[in-house]
Amino acid sequence: MSNALIEELQWRGLIYQQTDESSIEELLNKEQISLYCGADPTADSLHIGHLLPFMTLRRFQEHGHRPIVLIGGGTGMIGDPSGKSEERILQTEDQVEANVEGISAQMHKLFEFGTDKGAILVNNKDWLSQISLISFLRDYGKHVGVNYMLGKDSIQSRLENGRSYTEFTYTILQAIDFGHLNRELNCKLQVGGSDQWGNITSGIELMRRMYGQTEAYGLTIPLVTKSDGKKFGKSESGAVWLDADKTSPYEFYQFWINQSDDDVIKFLKYFTFLDKDEINRLEESKNQEPHLREAQKALAENVTEFIHGKEALDDAIRISKALFSGDLKSLSGKELKEGFKDVPQVELSTETSNIIDVLIETGIATSKRQAREDVNNGAIYINGERQQSVDYELSNEDKIDDEFTIIRRGKKKYFMVNYK
């Protein structure tokens, strides 16, 4: 008997592997379950690489199931080696605690907590820190075969380069998590990225050995890939964070609106809650009228609003429109800094004021002759306003927040001029 949620996840391309497909389907048809997904606090914010498993967990919540959101305050002290080519650097306890706080706040944006069917937030430090070394070896380690662990791809792939015993035990700690949540909160399903398959199956195996036959399953989600082969989740300036202070809502919005035609429909299925009919309509628009970029706009608007809220989305759209039209006067200094974060940064002495000298000193023009031609031809804009006088002197009014000036040369070549 098919299940509507599983069918939707399959249509969205969100299922990579399941430990027991027919039993999971049967379970979801039979009852409203508790299921979990975890993240280690490697930073004080999640980035969009973390988003898909948790959004999939949220889809289960929309269908009446109860998500358990685990933050690895304990496992974060060790570091998950899955998918890593070298040993992680251990974090201090204070770093991990600060990171747990930051990520907890973000989880409250992704999930509903505090209602009857609301999500539950747990920190595995609460139980892992209570296990003594002797208890770890006797009660858990005794049930985990070394040969079984060596057979895992995640462990096998790193043996040649060497791996510490600390990282070797990580998979046992995650296995203990699944067992603890199964016993304490009746959690029957773990969801994770495809790199978590080894850790998930270790948890099911540990439960089987410790408790006998246990109703526990795993489901993994594919690794997000881009059609051009580049790593998903990175922009020109690095990781795309969910924290508005690390990646502004404008930058976040721009990341999504700049996705290619080849990827946009897949990402609409992955990262939005739009239904099949709407996504099919957007796909048709992309095929018939790609210049409208309707699918990209829908993707950017939906994900930005989901993570940052309606007000932040409206600001991101307003900043985007102002930058596109060249209407820089309508933006604040902070918004301009966000918008021009990735343009060439040049320096100018506060003594230099004549427009020709400014263009030469900043390297925007290579010679006085070229600078004069650019100004006379109307190719130079100061803070969005065309300047055609070679005698123009930059004044304090041209300094935004007394810090910088935006100079544009030609149609699209922007420079942020910082004063020294």
pTM passes above 0.85: no
pLDDT above 80 for 95: yes
Half-sphere exposure of 184 (CA within 13 A, CB side): 13
pLDDT digits (tens, 9 = 90+) for 328-366: 778 878 888 877 777 788 888 888 788 888 888 888 888
Report how far residue 216's alpha carbon sits from residue 193's, in angstroms, rounded to the nearest whole number. 17
What per-residue confidence (pLDDT) applies to 235? 65
Q: Tell me the domains of the chain and their CATH numbers.
A: 4-221 (3.40.50.620), 234-339 (1.10.240.10), 345-419 (3.10.290.10)
Q: pLDDT averaged over the chain? A: 87
| 358, 387 Cβ separation under 8 angstroms | no
pLDDT above 70 for 91: yes
94-108, 381-395, 400-414 — most confident range: 94-108
Report how far residue 246's alpha carbon sits from residue 416's, in angstroms, rounded to the nearest whole number. 20
Question: How far, in whole angstroms, is CA 389 from its chain's centroid?
Answer: 47
pLDDT digits (tens, 9 = 90+) for 177-204: 999 999 999 999 999 999 888 889 888 9
pLDDT above 80 for 384: yes
Q: Is 32 helix (H, G, I), strand (E, B) or coil?
A: coil
pLDDT digits (tens, 9 = 90+) for 52-63: 999 999 999 999
Least confident interval from 11-20, 77-86, 209-218, 220-229: 77-86
321 CB-contact burial (10 Å; exposed 0-12 / middle 13-18 / buried 19+):
exposed
